[in-house]
């Protein structure tokens, strides 16, 4: 029997790797992928608690998180395409038009 701590620890490691990726990488698409990784690690936490508490709410929440992830990917990639059309780059150091 595997303790819940191991699942939570795996999830924490994946989340931290996602945060490191968002901070280190400069490519907008890779940053989106790191956000997907973080959402996925949160899903792992929710499913682990759902199984150990014997409650269905965690798995319902995973549904909602997946919906949000799909919506975020669609809109985010549309933004990346629109930016690439205007700037010819997806490097976020060159995309600073909202910075003053």
Least Cβ distance, residue 25 to another protein (angstroms): 6
Residues 52-91 close enough to bind another protein by CB under 8 A: 52-56, 59-60, 62-64, 66-75, 77-82, 84-86, 89-91
- Count, residues near another protein per rule CB under 8 A: 73
Which residues, in sequence order, are CB contacts of 45 under 8 Å at separation 6+? 7, 8, 11
Q: Contact 28/90 with Cβ under 8 angstroms?
A: yes
| 2: phi then psi, degrees, rounded to nearest 5 | -95, 130
| 95 lies in the binding site for another protein (CB under 8 A) | no
Least Cβ distance, residue 35 to another protein (angstroms): 11
Question: Which residue lies nearer to another protein by CB, 88 or 100?
Answer: 88
| 86: phi then psi, degrees, rounded to nearest 5 | -90, -35
């Amino acid at each position: 029997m595997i303790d819940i701590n191991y699942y939570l620890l795996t999830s924490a490691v994946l989340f931290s790797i996602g945060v490191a990726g968002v901070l280190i990488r400069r490519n907008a698409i890779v940053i989106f992928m790191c956000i997907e990784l973080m959402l996925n690690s949160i899903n792992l936490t929710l499913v682990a608690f759902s199984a150990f508490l014997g409650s269905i709410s965690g798995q319902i929440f995973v549904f909602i998180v997946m919906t949000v992830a799909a919506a975020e990917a669609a809109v985010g990639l549309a933004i990346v395409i629109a930016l690439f059309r205007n700037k010819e780059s997806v490097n976020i150091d060159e995309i600073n038009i909202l910075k003053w």
